[in-house]
Structure formats: C-alpha cells, structure tokens
Chain A
Amino acid sequence: MGEAESIGLLETKYSRRNFIKGVIAVGATASSAGYFIGGSGLLGAQSVPGAAERLITLNVNGQQRRVDVLPNETLAMTLRYRLNLTGTKLGCDRAECGACTVLIDGVNRYGCSTLTHQVRGSSVTTIEGLENPDTGELSLVQQAVIDEGGFQCAFCAPGFIMSMTAMVNENPNPTRAEAAHALSGNLCRCGDYHKILNCAMRAAELARSV
C-alpha cells in the first residue's frame, strides 16, 4: 500500500524506495560537510560547532525512532518516506493548505515547513499516534469525526484532525467561531467546512464529558 502513496510528481518519477536512495545521494554529492567521512560513518563527526549530525533519534507517537535525516529534509518527508507514516499528507508543500499538520510537543504545525532536525528532542504526534496503542480505541476527535460523518474525499482530514486535537486540548469549550479560527490554518478542497466544524464542536463536547 505504501508504495502507492506518493505525491503527484514524485510518483511519476520514482518509486518510494528509489526516492529515498535518491535524496541520500544528493546529500552526499552536493553537501560540503562530508557526512560520510570519518570512522563514525553517518555520524559525520561534529568537527564544526553547532553542525547537525545526520543520524538522529526522533520521538514519534511515543516511540523512539532512529533515523537518518538530511539537513535539508522536512518533517513531512521524514515521516512519509523514511518512517512510512503516510497518514500525514502533503498537499502544497508550502505552508498553504494544512494537509501536513502534525503536533510538535502538542502544538499544531506544518510538517512540510519544519526541518526534521528542528524537532530532535521534541515529541511528534501524527494521525497514526492518536488512537490508544494498546486498545486501538480512537481518540475523542477521531470518534467525533465518525459520529458526525465529516469530510468528503478526506485528503484534508488528517491535518484537520490534528488541528482539532490541538484545539480541544487547549480550549474544550470553543464557540463555533472560535473553532473556525482554531482551524483556519487548514483548507478543505471539497469545501466541507460546515461538517468539519460540526466535528470540531462534537469533539469539544466529547472532551468536556470525560
């Protein structure tokens, strides 16, 4: 399934696996840092103060994930193409749509416009991390979306659900206008905003009742 998940242009040119090899090669040839030199292999020796190492540990959905990340790699790329967490979508890749929204230390941000190296030491939550890992029980927000039957094609859904999660954690008592404001960094190409807001209000209601 993962093989079929890709963003427009990439899909026509590369299989996912080749794409990952491709970016590593670019890093090796075009960066002057000499990441592959030295006894520690990928660690690329901290010869310069403040220089970023490539092999890092990310806390994603409560798990420590060891991953090799290019300095110029966005979080959305790392999640989708290295960690196979393809629930996070790429719409615009320009901080202009919200499809890539994830939580970083509980705060909703655009994964397409964050460097992975900036979130070392933070905890990242993606749509895959919302359900209870032991029981598989859905989060309140996910449940609310099912209750209300929000979304049409649902390409925007993971991003909206992450923003709704940040919203209910912060303010479980929003007015509809406040909910709209909290979700104003996510676009729905199907224009399903009315039902999406119903979901948000339902999620807040569920959050208040726990």
Chain B
Amino acid sequence: MAIIRDMIPAFELFQPTTVEDALVLLAEHGQGAWVLAGGLDSYDWFKDRIKRPEAVIDLGGIDELTGISDAQDGLEIGAMTTLTEIVRHERVRSEYTLLADAAEHVATPQIRNQGTLGGNISQDTRCWYYRSGWPCYRAGGNTCYAAAPQAMNREHAIMGTSRCVAVSPSDTAHALVALDAKMIVRGRRSSNVYDAEDFFIGPATDITRMTVLESGDLLTQINIPGEWANAHFYYEKVRDRGSWDFQLVSVAAAFKTSGNTIDDARIVVNGVAPFPVRLDAVERLVRGTSVDEAVAIEAGEIAIQGSHALKYNEYKQPMMSNLVRRAVRSVA
C-alpha cells in the first residue's frame, strides 16, 4: 500500500523544447537523468524514494513529440501523444481499432488524458517486490523474491522468465506488436528503428530493463504501417476491477481474412511474461485455415505450451488459453 509522504524528494527539472536539447541534457546527466513523459509511473517511484534522479527531463514541452500524422503508408504517432488523443483519433478508430481499444483500456480517464503512448510502453514493471525497493535481480541484486517458495506472485509471469518473473504492464504494447509498429529511438549520435517485437526485451537480454532504451536514448515516434489497417482485430483485457487495474492477462490480435479463412495473423499476449509474447506457433496453426471451434481450441492449447506456473498464478494458463481461443474464434 502506498504510504503518503510529505513531498517528492528534490531534483532539478529541465523542460527542453526540442528533442536535440533533451538529448544533450540526457547525455550531460547520464545515469542521474530521468525521462519524464506523462509522469504517472515516474511519480510513484519518486514518492516512494525508490528512484531518486538528480535531473528530471520533462518532455512535455517538445511539440515535435506530440500528435498523430498521416504517413505515406500508415500513421506516425509522436511518443508524447496522450492515450486520449489516440482513442479519439479518427483514423486510429476506424482503421486501427486494435490500438484505440488498447489505449481505452488503460487505467482511468484522467490517466489517459495525461499518460502518453511512449510512456505506456516504456513504463517499468509492477512487481511489488521490485517496486518496494527490494534488492532483487532487476534492481541489481542477486535474487528474485517473487519466485521464492512463499512469494505472493498471483500477477507474475508464466513464460519468458529468466531469473526475474515480473511481467510487462503495458496495455498497448501487445497491440503495437500485433500491428507490426516501428519504434523510432534517437540517441545522441544515432537514430534506430526497431520492430515493436524487438523493442521489448526480456530479462535474458538485460534483467534491469524492459525495452531496448538505454540511458541517453529517447523514444520519439511510433509508426503504424498500413499493412494491417482495417484487419479483423480482437482485443481483450482481463483485470480485477473495471478501471485502473493493470491486466492479469490480455490478448491483442490482427487477422487478415477472406470469409472465415485466415490468410495471415499476428497474435500477441501480454501480462504473462516480461515482454509481450508473440504466439508464432498459433499464428502458423491458424494461417490458411478456415476457423471452426476445433481450430480455436487447438490454438488455445498451443498458446500455453511450455508455460510454467508459479505458486499463485496457475490461473493464468487457462486464462491465456481461453483468451487466445476467443481471439481465433472471433474470426468465424
């Protein structure tokens, strides 16, 4: 439970107006710098004194980072575009409903009015051992408290783990992977484009980060290619309460269909691993098939192959299986 303390500890606040200035500030302050987007994840860390940056770089004044524009093929979304803007954007609503749906499922109206797409996919995990400041692997220590025999791990991972069993908290990450989005990351010297699928990394790659972003990097833009526009989409998020809560398990899927035959599919689940999990085996199974209940059931079974439950999260296996089944069934 959050404890009300008096005040966020002191930091220097910088409010640059260009990406260039932000990158200079990030380079200057190195490990002591903190990138502030909407701030909703950041302030918890600060108030709890678990993260104590010296310099906070607020991206809110950088106009070039906000807004959605038409690209030759698809959409370009500034990383600081709020979730509400995304939910309301006409083309997102009509052509990429999967993303509108996902964004609408984030937390609450107030949070969507302030939280950004870039922030939503860059936020840190909710594992409470980690967030309470326990010196776990992710925090640079040498154990995982959430995987210990007595641990409370109802919300933790059933796959993709490597020492750390925390899950990705984002409601939009898997939708972006399903849409094959591209992430533009700018550093001081170079600029890189990552497939959404590669932007999110697991603990096997680096246990202290959830994305490719390293100190000094800035996620500036998310491009949605036209490839999956107007596909058949399915999004479902299971959570404890109807607002605020992070997902327990959630599925985002895009299908290209002719009748009830699936020509191509991208099916991604989140809340089950430290990164959004793309279900290649399920996609292979359903591609080229005409969907019936048997296919849907098999898809659900294949989806959880190789998963391992912890003490309190066994329910995530049937939940994930059922969500994948429903996603596939929605095509029929």
Contacts and interface: CB of A to CB of B under 8 A. Distances in A.
A52 B60 CA distance: 13
A92 B15 contact: no
Interface of A: 7-10, 13-14, 19, 22-23, 26-27, 30-33, 48-52, 70-74, 77, 90, 92-96, 98, 101, 107-110, 112-115, 117-118, 163, 166, 181-185
A114 B39 CA distance: 7
A48 B28 CA distance: 11
Given A9-B4, A9-B5, A52-B14, A94 B44 contact: yes
A184 B108 contact: yes
A31 B10 contact: yes
Contacts of A110: 110-111, 114
Given A93-B4, A98-B108, A185-B108, A117 B114 contact: no
B110 A72 contact: no
Contacts of A113: 39-40, 43, 114
Contacts of A108: 109-110, 113
B318 interface: no
Given A92-B4, A114-B39, A72 B13 contact: yes
A30 B111 contact: no
Contact of A163 (B8, B110, B111): B110
B109 A182 contact: yes
B81 to A, nearest CB: 14
Interface string B73-99: 000000000001000000000000000
B231 interface: no
Given A49-B21, A110-B111, A113-B114, A72 B4 contact: no
Contacts of A32: 12, 54
Contacts of B107: 95, 185
A70 B111 contact: no
27 contacts: A7-B4, A8-B4, A14-B6, A19-B6, A26-B9, A31-B11, A32-B54, A50-B16, A50-B21, A50-B57, A51-B12, A51-B13, A70-B10, A72-B56, A94-B2, A95-B43, A96-B2, A96-B244, A107-B84, A108-B113, A110-B110, A110-B114, A117-B15, A163-B110, A166-B109, A181-B109, A182-B109
